[in-house]
Structure 1
């Protein structure tokens, strides 16, 4: 079986790697993980403990020379959601350079500087990317699409809620694939009926089926230069013009709102729970129940800001405790620790109410049991890892479909 070589950026604790390597069709030839806000590089340490230190970089990717990164077939990564606006125009062949520290431009730099750039891209982000920033809805995604277009890539995207396809967590993320113009997939996409690609023929649709309502996709022309897009795209627009699915090629976006179509088995919260051996520290003391009930409950009250200003505050109730018969809510980075929280998961057991364990959080992201367990790493840190991670099962399915399309 041919192995596709992969560069893994913003690797975290290896969710992309786990998903891709489980298909046996991919080999990670270089990886990078750097957390700028912490002295101890916990995620990188864990990554090396699980996959080895060979060809792994723990340096700020913006400071890594492109010449140090090996050639590969595929570049993957779940890059941070930031402000992608254009900062400067340089009067040289490199053209546009984005704001310093915005990591999308590190991907752009690698693709533009490599003599043999990766032919395929597989990227992930939070779904609000499609409607950011608030004063120019969809501008950031338009900048990405056009910057990739300028580098010779077509793009296919979909917002996927893992739970809609039988996975144990309601986690919505945008996944997008890039195809270089030298590839057969690019040529097939260019010739295709774009609606058929979005609904049936595309790499994502092949594994994540949607209801085909035969609606024609909305078309959006994005042919301005990046500075113009940055300054004026959908200026003061109330809504994003991008739907949850689409393709972009040669300056033209085709986008449709799609609905999942899945008839398989659904995994629910109770399926991932530890049956026994849960440490006492995860159980909530009876005297703390009122605190949790207040935070989880509906509120309509007057609050006072630090400045002394009073304001009306209201919010709806959360399900408390969690329903064991549904996929879980989205894991967040603050899931760990004993303190009461509106957003932490709480389940009801025969011994009383308790929080979720790190192992259960790993299962909700479809990681191997105890993947984040390492001497000296707290349960809170392990929970933080999972709050930042992606659902491995989604990567595995898209990776399988991409491999089949490349190698068939």
Structure 2
């Protein structure tokens, strides 16, 4: 049976596509792009799903009590500073602008059974001066709300998708749910995270352990309250882990590579408009931008240093998944991180088309062809998640944890 879902930071609907493919229902959504007048992502979302129960306002202006009751809360939220401060009787508050706190206040008000969140994998390491603090604060907040948590960093290319995109996915379950009870009963087992857990069925990993104890204690624990975590907590989180009753288990895992789609598979093969081809006179500049560099630089205070960067393949190899898409794709001006391919129809060098970047992210063809400027079609895909990963996780939510 599908779960009634609220989708935050909805973008153009990547979470929703994956959820609906697995039989879940989105009953309310929010998408707001700050600092700009045009709301292209929200307009694309409405074009596909309708405007009923969709809001296009700053999430900070939404009263959490107005959000409908739901089973599952999802969202790909920006990675920001999650430090906290005590503000008298108001308790724990986030610094202005940190969107995690909008997730937290809605979860606190509505207490959905499950949360499924996505973020850049550097979340596990931030902040720079207190490694692991931000993720520790996030875990502490969920612990205080009665959730058990499991996380995994997943590179989509390891599991058959057309992009080398690494993101951390965070699954939280209320302790009294089927998943919450199951996680609590299994988390100390030595094969948790490698043979059992929320993610491992859909995204298998190698078990490199040679000696397996009957049970093992957590690697660290949450102590005190989120304010203490913000001030004092520091820990090296690995790419897989779980938090149950304030205990944290984490370990490095190795994906079982499954092969799958490569860049060649998503390219349009019947030729593309001339505007996507590189200017032959600029190929030399492209080669420089993509090439390895060692450049002597000097800071404003006179300190001299050598700036170094490695080479990026030019053109991009077609027998591998694409590199991570960024929002800067979409122009033929020479640039270091943009994709350049050899067109399969005529052999000339060109950039990717909007349809191809949609395929890389596992969206339907022309999903963003809803009237937005073409540059925004690239931006929306650079900000999106890989739809099929969500679909696999959504399928897992329909299963009995013991099976």
What is the TM-score when the length of structure 1 is the normalising length? 0.93
Residues 138-287 of structure 1 mapped to structure 2, 5 A cutoff = 138-192=132-186, 193-214=188-209, 219-234=219-234, 240-263=235-258, 265-287=259-281
Deviations 1:31-55 (A, max 9, x none): 0001112111111111101111010
Structure 1: unaligned runs, 5 residues or longer: 235-239
Deviations 1:279-332 (A, max 9, x none): 111100110101100000011223466888764322111111101001110000
Which one of 380, 383, 389 corresponds to residue 385 of structure 1? 380
Which one of 121, 124, 137 corresponds to residue 127 of structure 1? 121
The residue number in structure 2 matching 1:364 is 360
Contact 1:6–1:75 (CA under 8 A) maintained in structure 2 = yes
The residue number in structure 2 matching 1:83 is 81
**1:407: how far off?**
11
Aligned-partner Cα distance in 2 for 1:217–1:158: 20
Aligned-partner Cα distance in 1 for 2:76–2:151: 14
The residue number in structure 1 matching 2:62 is 64
Matched, 1:320 2:319: no
Aligned-partner Cα distance in 1 for 2:205–2:185: 22
Distance 1:307 1:370, change over 3 A: farther
Residue 150 of structure 2: SS of its match in structure 1?
A: strand
The residue number in structure 1 matching 2:13 is 14
Aligned-partner Cα distance in 2 for 1:351–1:211: 40
Aligned-partner Cα distance in 1 for 2:143–2:88: 19
Contact 1:362–1:371 (CA under 8 A) maintained in structure 2 = yes
More displaced 10-residue stretch of structure 1: 199-208 or 131-140: 199-208
Distance 1:281 1:309, change over 3 A: farther
Which one of 87, 96, 99 corresponds to residue 100 of structure 1? 96
Number of equivalent positions: 395
Which one of 370, 373, 388 corresponds to residue 369 of structure 2? 373
Contact 1:194–1:247 (CA under 8 A) maintained in structure 2 = no
Which one of 34, 41, 47 corresponds to residue 45 of structure 2? 47
Contact 2:182–2:401 (CA under 8 A) maintained in structure 1 = no
Contact 2:331–2:351 (CA under 8 A) maintained in structure 1 = no
Contact 1:119–1:179 (CA under 8 A) maintained in structure 2 = yes
The residue number in structure 2 matching 1:5 is 4
Deviations 1:60-116 (A, max 9, x none): 111101121101100000011000000333325xx31111221100111111123xx
Residue 333 of structure 1: SS of its match in structure 2?
A: coil
**1:127: how far off?**
0.3
Residue 400 of structure 1: SS of its match in structure 2?
A: helix
Contact 2:2–2:398 (CA under 8 A) maintained in structure 1 = no
Contact 2:264–2:318 (CA under 8 A) maintained in structure 1 = yes
Residue 205 of structure 1: SS of its match in structure 2?
A: coil
Task: Please provide the CA RMSD for this pair.
Answer: 1.8
More displaced 10-residue stretch of structure 1: 398-407 or 164-173: 398-407
Name whichever structure is richer in helix by fraction: 1
What is the TM-score when the length of structure 2 is the normalising length? 0.94
Residue 201 of structure 1: SS of its match in structure 2?
A: coil
Matched, 1:337 2:331: yes
Distance 1:256 1:406, change over 3 A: closer
Which one of 339, 351, 354 corresponds to residue 355 of structure 1? 351
Deviations 1:180-230 (A, max 9, x none): 022121111111144333112212111111111236686111122111111
Distance 1:406 1:5, change over 3 A: farther
Aligned-partner Cα distance in 2 for 1:243–1:269: 29
Aligned-partner Cα distance in 1 for 2:341–2:203: 30
